[in-house]
Amino acid sequence: MSESFTEALGRRVLLGDGAMGTLARASGGLVEGHGAELCVIAPELVSALHERYLAAGADVLQTHTFAASRPRLERHGLARRVREINLAGARLAADVRDAAGRPAWVAGSVSPATPPGLAVPVEEARAAIAIREQVEALVEGGVDLIVLETFSRAGELLAAIRAVQEVTDLPVVAQATFVDEDGDLLTAAGESPAEVVARLADAGAVAVGTNCTLGPQGLLDVVRRMGPTGGPALSAQPNAGLPHVVADRSVRFAGDAEHFARYVLRYVEAGARLVGGCCGTTPEHTAAAARALTTHDAWSPPTTPRVVPAPRVAPDPEPAPDEEPDEPVTGPGRGAVDRWLRGRPGSRGFLVAAEVAGAGGPEEHLARARRAVSGGASVLWVSRPRARRATTSTTGLAVHLHDRIDVDTALTVTSWQTSLLALQADLLGLHALGVRTLVCETGNPPVHAEQAVGDGVWEVDGLELLRLAADLNRGSDADGVEVGAATAFRLGARVTPGADDLEHEAERAVAKVEAGAEFLVTRPVFELERLRTVLDALGAAGRRVPVLASVGALTGYAQAEHLRHEVPDVVVPDAVVEPMRRAGDGPDAARTGLALAAELVAEAATLVEGVVVRWPGSAVPGLDPTTAVTRLRAAADGADGARVRR
């Protein structure tokens, strides 16, 4: 090859491939041990996957050797095969490169030596030995560069660069992974994108960047906060979107190819020179990105220097309603859920619940809850956030709100992280503490680099959790043994009108009612046709129960785009996206979002029996808890045929 990777990177934008692991699983490449073992037991499959990405337009092929270092392989009994697996993986990709008929480069994929789930990294000297061993085999196999990817600690990434440089002078691409916790983009060690770039600036990598964990939109914020580096090029490889466990416990990633391609262009405009995909991205994503790049003037460097936006700095927040001192609020009293459920169909009051969400401790949540009640909420709703950072437990928060405000508090209980007996103990504890309204669901673990949704305990799902709670209401425990006194939970369950397989979702809704659900709560809805389909199925089965629709005001076009393209099982129609696109992301956008939500609630008032009002936890102009609840409650009350306010 006449042009090196480094020379090509300086001349034009290079497009990487997508997720080899995702594509291998989708193609039937399943192994009981380590995924990289496919390089020796199914080499023809691995070669075919490389060929598909190359045909889609990729310039850079990553070897199928992620996490194929000794500390990672020894957990699968493969420690003695480190050289064999990495040598095979490099040769398979190199053979595809050599037959390409056009310039292409092979990147040897190297992960952190620390296996997932360990709180303390592998000892530095041992990690360096492991990386040198893996890289030596990759170099022998014919790679053109080394890509260090999905590192969650800058120090570990810096040590890995040095270990690579001890055995080869091939170029190195160094990528860290970040999580978004309430707007903060940080590594697992608490480092910002700018801090990571600063630590790696003089390490000798030809490119520094980010990959994995975040979808296209979230990763763009990381790239913007990383650049310009003043030295190494930038790289960006997002996941397709958020992962989601579907009915058969397999993992599905949200995120369509055209949305991915739009963001690839935005990475380039933000200064990235190497772009590609990570978990969930397929040859279709790569092909869409290649089409976008070849029709864009960023495919080759412009003749004038690129102006890269400076890292976004959040302005100092103005005093927000949820940060003001607490004011006494007289709640509507207990029993709203009981009265609502006892009401006769057709005359049942329209229930307005308010979700308590956002950053902060118990007192911040308490202030928001009081303002929601002052706006007209008769139930407070506590649900589990999909976050990795230490935060107040949802159970503790629900009990805190129950004790401090004279109003019903509902709690979402998930089963993914807890065994059956632990769940039973939790339920009995909640009952003793006075929390009586529960919504049972399976839930999803928080997104984690390398293990998007694989770190949960799946002994029971939401349906089994619901049956357990219903048995306790009948006075029996998980083994069918009588308990001292029956519980008195009011039980709900989740329903997902945005599910891909709506027929299956409707069947699950019927099963949940038969298992003991007295009411259903939707995932966020922005249109009602799919919900009508589920309600019709419940009616046809004779299992129609009261339904609460989760409704929230969008705060800007970016949020609408994110929900539409990167979040599974949420349908945001054009009728919502277009007004938000016109509103943009400025201070008035939340008002547009609230107006659209009010229109939806007015329409829903004759279809469902209540709403759960959702709002962003942080302060947004014109969208504090009181404003959101008051506006949406008024929309329901003012609708034709609206139910009597309760």
Question: Which distant-in-sequence residues (6+ apart) come within 8 Å of 18 by Cβ?
Answer: 53, 58, 276, 277, 278, 281, 282, 283, 285, 286
| Sequence ranges of the binding site | 212, 278-279
Nearest CA among 551, 559, 539 for reference residue 594? 551
Q: Locate all alpha helices (DSSP H) within 436-528, ordered by sequence.
A: 462-473, 502-515
Question: Which distant-in-sequence residues (6+ apart) come within 8 Å of 424 by Cβ?
Answer: 468, 472, 477, 478
- State the Cα–Cα distance between residues 578 and 563, nearest whole angstrom: 14
Distance of alpha carbon 22 from the chain centroid: 16
Question: Which distant-in-sequence residues (6+ apart) come within 8 Å of 471 by Cβ?
Answer: 477, 478, 480
* Total residue count of the chain as it appears in this document: 646
Asked whether the beta carbons of 200 and 208 are under 8 A apart, the reply is yes
Question: Which residues face 105 on adjacent strands?
Answer: 60
- State the Cα–Cα distance between residues 128 and 508, nearest whole angstrom: 50
- State the Cα–Cα distance between residues 57 and 109, nearest whole angstrom: 19
| Sequence ranges of the binding site for Zn(2+) | 212, 278-279
Asked whether the beta carbons of 160 and 127 are under 8 A apart, the reply is yes
Q: Locate all alpha helices (DSSP H) within 347-419, ordered by sequence.
A: 362-374, 394-404
